[in-house]
Structure 1
Amino acid sequence: MFDVKEIVSVTLILFSVIDIVGSLPVIIDLRKKVGRIESERATLVSGALMLSFLFVGERILKLFGVDVASFAVAGALIIFLLGLEMILGRTIFKPDESTGGAAHIVPIAFPLIAGAGTLTTIISLRAEYQTVNIIVGIILNLILIYIVLKSSEWLETRIGPGGLDVLRKIFGIILLAIAIKLIKTNLIADF
């Protein structure tokens, strides 16, 4: 059943983790190198990755004997580190530099949009939210991702480097709070 509060929560959590606005510097740099970004393909590929992980991710966990609560805590730790990365301006997770000739898929769709943090978060969200609300949250994020990719040149001139830095720090604090909530909720569930 659709729950507006859950949809808003999922959308904001995914928006913070994906951090498409915070990734603007990378997207702008890549656009300058390859000429243009295939916004439609990047959005579709990242959406397919997120939705397939939403449905198959839990089965993969069971294959390895890991429960969702444990995976949610592990995901929360990754989200926590991503938040620290955004706030402190230090690189903890090293991105794959090879584009493999497909600038819309690597590194934009994967790992920039649908990377380890996003996929881990999707599984973590399954422990707390209904699947239908997660799907709506993913779709809303895909729309935002498409808009940002399509208008990256325009956004670059409007926000400026200082504005991008402020946005990264704000979303970093949000991620830290989300991570602490996920750890608290899933550790209590085990006792």
Structure 2
Amino acid sequence: MVNKIIHDALMIWVTIEPIGTVVLFSALTYRLSPTERRKTATMAIAYSAIILLGAILVGQIILTAMGIQLISLQIAGGIILFLFGLQMIFGRMVTAFSQPEAGHDIAVFPLAIPSIVGPESIMVVILLTDNYLHSVATQAITAGVMLGVLAVTYVLMLLAEHLLRIIGKNGAAILERIMGIILATLSVDLIIDAFAGIFQWIIPKP
């Protein structure tokens, strides 16, 4: 169980990618008052928690209704996560989302979506809470781990100005690349595990 908690925490951390969110949050809210920054961070985390908890509760049900096998999502998700990891390793420009949509709350876009909650984090929480592999109690623990990562992200967002002053943008870039390497490694494990399951199904043990 301890190994799963550590594994889940790493997977969720590198897909939510709090450091990148802190950089984006700082760029988007530097003109806001402390109260407005706190409100924006709170709403962004609240929206993110609702989306990810919804994915845990109904994500697999929707996939089953669509006739999509979870092992297919595991392979596709592993490939996407690997590409996402490569993007982190070779650099991702925050400026791509530096301008919010007109008339939209920045807590929703681009902070909650796609900075904190993207396709990769939704896929990860669905895969980590597979109904066929994990009990309800284990899934609840994974949900708790996810909420814990969001709580840490929230604290880092509130401390964004101080953190960036300490580590600088270069330090943030280095941390992002390290997380990218970890994510790429974990995504390869997902693909290997999926193919191992397929081979065991095709060639059962005597």
Counterpart check, 1:109 vs 2:107: no
Q: In 1, Cα distance between the equivalents of 2:198 and 2:24? A: 39
CA deviation vs aligned residue, 1:28-75 (integer Å, no higher than 9, x gap): 111125554312111111011101101100011112111111111111
Q: Is the 8 A contact 1:87 1:173 kept in 2?
A: yes
Counterpart check, 1:162 vs 2:170: yes
The aligned length equals 187
Task: Tell me the secondary structure at the aligned position of residue 66 of structure 1.
Answer: coil
- 1:22 shift after superposition: 2.4
Q: Is the 8 A contact 1:21 1:164 kept in 2?
A: yes
Aligned to 2:87: 85
CA deviation vs aligned residue, 1:123-160 (integer Å, no higher than 9, x gap): 12224663122112112111111101111111111110
Q: In 2, Cα distance between the equivalents of 1:146 and 1:7? A: 20
Counterpart check, 1:150 vs 2:158: yes
- 1:23 shift after superposition: 2.8
Q: Is the 8 A contact 2:52 2:122 kept in 1?
A: yes
Q: In 2, Cα distance between the equivalents of 1:104 and 1:189? A: 40
What TM-score comes out, normalization by structure 2 length? 0.83
Q: Is the 8 A contact 1:50 1:122 kept in 2?
A: yes
Q: Is the 8 A contact 1:99 1:106 kept in 2?
A: no
Task: Tell me the secondary structure at the aligned position of residue 19 of structure 2.
Answer: coil
Structure 1 residue ranges, 4+ long, deviating more than 4 angstroms after superposition:
33-36, 94-97
Aligned to 1:13: 11
% identity of equivalent residues: 27
Q: In the TM superposition, what are the counterparts of 1:130-149 in structure 2 within 5 Å?
A: 130-149=138-157
Counterpart check, 1:173 vs 2:174: no
- 1:77 shift after superposition: 1.2
Aligned to 1:63: 65
TM-aligned CA distance change 1:178 to 1:15, over 3 Å: same
Q: Is the 8 A contact 1:87 1:168 kept in 2?
A: yes
Equivalent AA in structure 2 for residue 135 of structure 1: A
Q: Is the 8 A contact 1:79 1:179 kept in 2?
A: yes
Uncovered stretches (5+) of structure 1, i.e. residues with no partner = none
Uncovered stretches (5+) of structure 2, i.e. residues with no partner = 200-206
Root-mean-square deviation (CA), in Å?
Answer: 2.0
Q: In 2, Cα distance between the equivalents of 1:118 and 1:33? A: 29
Q: In 2, Cα distance between the equivalents of 1:76 and 1:143? A: 26
Q: Is the 8 A contact 2:23 2:160 kept in 1?
A: no
Q: In the TM superposition, what are the counterparts of 1:20-39 in structure 2 within 5 Å?
A: 20-32=18-30, 36-37=36-37, 38-39=40-41
Q: In 2, Cα distance between the equivalents of 1:157 and 1:76? A: 35
Q: Is the 8 A contact 1:11 1:141 kept in 2?
A: yes
The structure with more radius of gyration: 2
